A and B are shown apart, each in its own frame.
Chain A
Amino acid sequence: MTISLGYFLRESAINFRRNWVMTLGAVITIFLSLLLVGVSVATGYVVTEIVKDVERKVEVQIFLKDGFAEEDMIELQQFLSSDPLVASVDYTSKEEALAKFKEQMKESPEIIEQMEGNPLPASLDVKLVDARQVEVVVAKIKSNPTFPRVADKPDNPEESLKYAKQIVNRLFALTRVVRIVEIVFIAMLAIVSLIFINNTIRLAIYARRKEIGIMRLVGASNWFIRTPFLLEGVFQALIGATLAILTIVGLERAIMPKLREVLSFLDLSLGGTVMVQISLILIGSGILIGLMGSGFALRRYLKV
């Protein structure tokens, strides 16, 4: 088998040189489609992280009027705590709210100076199990009979509720659309690269039709005849995949630090394991594209 391996590599290299324009086309289209796959996996990962983070932070705040009845507040708190959609309900007193506010505003002390007394209401802070259920929980709060009695604005209790309306739902809808667009692009590029590989292999078969005829004549096995062509497609795909991986590593180095800076409140990182995963996915799909492209060509143009 040692001479066979040398033979296969030599034959593939010769074809690379012979049809370098076609080969370049194949490599570039594979590179682009795999780059898109890699970028979409990476962004998918980052977006999932962001969504998770936002979900953790989504909460419903119920502002309470001054001098509310303690037992009403506790009743509401217990009602919500027992709900399976609710993760936790924490009470924040007026004093705690003021302390928190001062902490947030410490860079503009003039605002704090202008405040008279404590205008901030106490609140119940409701954390959710699933951020997408925020509207359901809000509806439950509104329909609770105790709620208007403790609400900060009893005339219009709804204004006593603060929550991030449907941000999460929109984020999910957006990522879905982006995903679909990506898949369409990747599919198109994959088809173009299949066509390119198919053509390079067809030319390679044509250029070597005499050798192939003699190989058949002297009894070279079918796989011996096919393998150099299959390998050639796989080589093209692997070069494309390597370029794509290098580009993605470069992009990660260039973009992620800035992204972390801008979104410092989020815990963002594309760890080494994610990059390894992406690399494996790209190499795997590269080999698949290469085998498919040359497989089609062999089926159509090489009768053994």
Chain B
Amino acid sequence: MPYMISMRGVDKFYAGEKPALVDVNVEIEQGEFVFLVGHSGSGKSTFIKLLLREILPTRGTIVVAGQDLMRLKSWKVPYLRRNIGCVFQDFKLLPNKTSYENVAFALEVIGRSRHVIRTQVPEVLRLVGLEDKMDSYPDELSGGEQQRVSIARAFVNRPPLLLADEPTGNLDPQTSLGIMSLLSRINKTGTTVLVATHDREMVDSMRRRVIALENGKVIRDQDRGVYGYDD
């Protein structure tokens, strides 16, 4: 299996701060479901930003979806991001657009045709279970529903890689479970899913691969792992 994500000897230092990441070596295969766990400040956010090529590492090489990020020209970065779906804790929905319009917007701005938009948006909204809420605005939806819209937006372009940064951080346990099973279903379609989280129950119940970060170092990387911190 080719790697979806490959990080070799990656260091990231911000000027005047303690190292954010130190000598990270991680390989994630196509179709894997991986948890990235650690306290706040352990380097999770830096990890995600590096994959999105929002920042470049101080040292080391990163390959994502076949692209060597060190050599990727900056004007090509948007094309890399079309291969990476993104989900965040705060949903990042546009308040003046309906669910349908929020998802359609993601296709519109990468120049997809009207026809593609009209067929794919309802389909993906059905997939996340929101076929009845297509015309609702974000403030008419619950937190879990808003996160489903944001997952629909991340997945509508069928990216090979889905990154989720604390996707259940603002949600109650019941709703979180629904979101996780949705991500798991997306993973079953062959999409690689990487979830950064500090939701202990979730990680322990799912029994997936866990990469644990502490002070910028990978301290543990095990298949079918648990959250494993004592906090």
Contact = CB atoms under 8 A, between A and B. Distances in A.
B78 A221 contact: yes
Contact of B109 (A1, A210, A215): A215
Contacts, number: 53
A136 interface: no
Interface string A160-194: 00000000000000000000000000000000000
A159 interface: no
A79 to B, nearest CB: 74
A224 B83 CA distance: 18
B97 to A, nearest CB: 9
A214 B94 contact: yes
Given A214-B92, A214-B94, A219 B111 contact: no
B83 to A, nearest CB: 8
A78 B108 CA distance: 84
A225 B110 CA distance: 10
Nearest to B112: A3
Interface string B75-110: 100111111101000001010000000000110111
A188 to B, nearest CB: 37
Nearest to B82: A219
A216 B54 CA distance: 10
Nearest to A208: B94
B79 A210 contact: no
A3 B153 CA distance: 19
Interface string B57-83: 000000000000000000100111111
Contacts of A3: 108, 111, 113-114
A236 B187 CA distance: 48
Contacts of A213: 92
Contact of B78 (A4, A7, A220): A220
Given A214-B105, A219-B80, A224 B92 contact: no
B157 interface: yes
A133 interface: no
A211 interface: yes
Interface string A1-32: 10110010000000000000000000000000
Contact of A214 (B80, B84, B106, B157): B106
A141 B92 CA distance: 89
Interface in A230-247: none
Nearest to B107: A218
A4 B111 CA distance: 7
B164 to A, nearest CB: 13
Contacts of B94: 210-211, 214
A219 B79 contact: yes
Given A3-B108, A211-B94, A213-B92, A218 B113 contact: no
A218 B82 contact: yes
Contacts of B84: 219
B75 A218 contact: no
A220 B78 CA distance: 6
A217 interface: yes
B151 to A, nearest CB: 13
A222 interface: yes
A217 B86 contact: yes
B110 A218 contact: yes
A214 B104 CA distance: 12
B106 A218 contact: yes
Contacts of A219: 78-84, 110
A82 to B, nearest CB: 70
Contacts of B153: 218
Nearest to A214: B92
A172 B84 CA distance: 68
Contacts of A218: 81-82, 86, 106, 109-110, 153, 157
A288 B69 CA distance: 36
B66 to A, nearest CB: 15
25 contacts: A3-B111, A3-B114, A210-B92, A210-B94, A211-B105, A213-B92, A214-B105, A214-B106, A216-B81, A218-B81, A218-B82, A218-B86, A218-B109, A218-B110, A219-B79, A219-B80, A219-B84, A219-B110, A220-B78, A220-B110, A221-B79, A221-B110, A221-B111, A224-B109, A224-B110
Given A218-B86, A221-B79, 5 more contacts: A4-B111, A214-B106, A217-B92, A219-B84, A224-B109
